[in-house]
Structure 1
């Protein structure tokens, strides 16, 4: 299995000014934007860490998921949530020949934790022996920061602030996610039910 992010977050989508206010930067001083690139990097790192911990995409982006076989014949849990659209399903044989599946053969089962690619009929399209399936999908709470749940917004700010405050110790390799971030993100995490179950 392989997950590929097809679109990246544009700088305009990042809550840079809100993060500055969270840090109380620039109070009484002229804000010349000298630290903007550094603060943007901390925000991107914090967003990536929160998304990795929760398997939730905070801001809308497009992804491709590549699998070599289905866990179940009727449906397949997608690796991220919330999924808003399945754009395309392709089957590739061992030689790389591509077959685009008809959109009527599959559908999206929406779920905040475990969205699924599901068969419209009895079974999902058969993946050729030695081949793979590629699923293009869109995921995210929305296109802007106002779409992100408030507790996840706060978790990003707390973690980005932690990166900012400890930036000189970044090379030590001794990273522990702050307790406040853990507390804010725990309810959004996926649970492993069984060894072969949802993850």
Structure 2
């Protein structure tokens, strides 16, 4: 299984000004944007860490997910949520030949925790022997920061602030998230049973 982020979060979607306010950086001075690149980096790092912990794509973008077999013949749980659209399903044979599957052969069953790629008939198109299936999907709560649930948006700001405050700290702390961040994201975490089966 390979999950690839096809498009990245645009800089315009990140709340750099809001993050500056959150950090209470000095005001009354000329805003030359000197730290904007640094703050952007901390926001992206915090976003990635929270996405990894929750199994959620926070800001909308496209992902490609490649598998060598379906877990069930009629449905396959997707590796992240929320998914708003299946862009394409491509089957690739052992020789590298690729075929795009007609969209009327499958459907998205949306779910906030475990969206599913489901067959419209009895089964999903079979993955070729020695080949793979690649599902391209649009995932995320929306394209703008305001589309995020309030608790996840706050968790990103808190974690980014934590990274900012301890940016010179070199001692390993076990990789634990601050308690406030963990508490905010807990309800969004997915309990995975059965190895991701539908």
TM-score by length of 2: 0.96
- Assess if the C-alpha contact under 8 Å between 2:86 and 2:137 holds in 1: yes
Corresponding position: 1:157 with 2:152: no
| Regions of 4+ moved over 3 Å | 196-199
Corresponding position: 1:31 with 2:35: no
Corresponding position: 1:172 with 2:171: yes
Gaps of 5+ in 1: none
- Assess if the C-alpha contact under 8 Å between 1:16 and 1:40 holds in 2: yes
C-alpha distance after superposition, 1:73-118 (max 9, x if no partner): 1100001100000011011111110011111000000000000100
Give the secondary structure class of the aligned counterpart of 1:172. Answer: coil
Structure 1 partner of 2:74: 74
Shift of 1:33: 1.1
Q: Distance in 2 between matches of 1:25 and 1:40?
A: 15
Aligned length: 197
Give the secondary structure class of the aligned counterpart of 1:95. Answer: coil
Structure 2 partner of 1:120: 120
Mean CA deviation greater in 14-23 or 173-182: 173-182
Matches within 5 A, 1:81-100: 81-100=81-100
Structure 1 pair 197–58 and aligned structure 2 pair: CA distance change class (3 A): closer
Matches within 5 A, 1:107-146: 107-146=107-146
TM-score by length of 1: 0.95
